Amino acid sequence: MTNSTNPTDPTPTDPSAHRLLLDPALLGDAEPGVDAGAPSGPLLEAVEIHKRYGRNEVLRGVSFEVQRGDVKAVLGPSGSGKSTMLRCLALLEPIDAGEVRLEGRIVGVRPAGSGGRSVRLPEVELAHQRRDIGMVFQRFNLFPHLTALGNVMLGLTEVRGRSKAEATDIAGAMLERVGLGARVRFYPSELSGGQQQRVAIARALVMNPKVMLFDEPTSALDPELVGEVLAVMEELAREGMTMVVVTHEIGFAKRVADRVIMMDEGQIIEDGAPDEFFASPRHERTRRFLEAVN
């Protein structure tokens, strides 16, 4: 981390005065992702999402909403549908029923004919909508043929239409902010897991998304490298980024999340503020899960 504040300090700093990661002047787009004048209502909504692979129904009617600037932690055992849900929200997987809404607008599909039916948008239009949604993967998925700088630049040049010179400046500044200023010329294979994941966060962040989705961002890391990634995410949360974080890091969820969701067998079985969620879970399944991971 480049900031001097204690990453575990929950006191929010004034976001406009002290923005390390979300400086609007240095993001890949003119309009800032955290916009005070934006319309009210939930930023991201899942409405009765169903998803099946063959005969296996992975998501069985998932609904929730994320308010602007909120951090939503998603807990649950493996196979409960957490990652699938995130991929559906990122428009990377078609859903079988339900809706994904971003700022109130349905994304991923367009209406088809009568009776409220809809069809998935063609891939080029989906690509356009995905620019507003940042995604960080469990296994980083950095591009091995590009340097750290190249990884962060690619979206700027290919998607945002920035010139190479502009993209180099923006990407370099962003890598500096996640503490990797000295590593810009390194290839992913020459970086530690924690460094790779920070590059991946910078790669998503530099596109100036409206929401960031994290799919178990620290699960593939050696224990001593988890902290540096969580510190970047906490800074991001403090600066007002809207985030959905699938995680097994209970400590992170307690400290940073505004809401915590428990998923089991393709459904949300509990959705509450962290205090009550962890202190007195209503659902027996949640209680057993928390005991198991603690």
Partner 1 sequence: MNFDPAIFWQALTSQQFRDGALIAIALTVAAQLTAVVIGLVLALMRASGNRVLGAASWTYVWIFRAIPTLVQLLFVWNALPQLIPALREDWFSPFLAAWVALSMNEGAYMAEIVRSGLLAIDDGQQLAARALGMTPRSVFRRVILPQVMRVIIPPTANEFITMLKITSLASAISLQELLTYTQQSISITFRFAEYYAAAAIYYLVIVSVFMVFQAWLERRFLWTSQRGDAGGLATALRGKGAR
Which residues lie near partner 1 (CB under 8 A)? 87, 90, 92, 123-124, 126-131, 133-135, 137, 139, 141-145, 147, 154-155, 158-159, 185-187, 189-190, 200, 203-204, 207
* 22/199 with CB nearer partner 1: 199
Contacts of 284 (CB under 8 A, 6+ apart): none
Residue whose CB is less far from partner 1, 139 or 282: 139
Alpha-carbon 57 to chain mean position: 24
Q: What is the number of other CB atoms lying within 10 angstroms of the CB of residue 231?
A: 20
Query: Interior CA angle at 92 toward 186 and 104, to 5°?
Result: 115
> Which residue matches tokens 């994941």?
197
The amino acid at 150: G
CB of residue 147 vs partner 1: minimum separation in angstroms? 7
Which C-beta is closer to partner 1: that of 147 or that of 168? Answer: 147
> Which CB, 246 or 268, lies closer to partner 1?
246
Tell me the backbone φ, ψ of residue 109, rounded to 5 degrees. -140, 165
143 — alpha (psi -120 to 50), left (phi > 0) or beta?
Answer: beta
Closest CB 144 distance from partner 1, rounded Å: 6
Closest by CA to 230, choosing from 248, 203, 211, is 248
Min CB(6)–partner 1 separation in Å:
32
What is d(CA 61, CA 58) in angstroms, rounded to the nearest whole number? 10
> Of all helices (H) and strands (E), which one includes residue 226?
helix 223-238
Q: Which is nearer to partner 1, 128 or 283 (CB)?
A: 128
Least distance CB 16 / partner 1 (angstroms) = 27
Q: Of 29 and 265, which CB lies nearer to partner 1 in the complex structure?
A: 29
CB 214 within 8 A of CB 138: no
Q: Closest distance between partner 1 and the C-beta of residue 218, in Å? A: 17
Least gap, CB of 7 to partner 1 (angstroms) = 26
Helix axes 148-158, 164-177, angle to 10 degrees: 130
CB of 201 to partner 1, least distance (A): 12
Residue nearer to partner 1 on the CB measure, 80 or 151:
151
List all residues 6 or more positions away from 21 whose beta carbon is below 8 Å from its beta carbon: 174, 177, 178, 205, 232, 235, 236, 239, 241
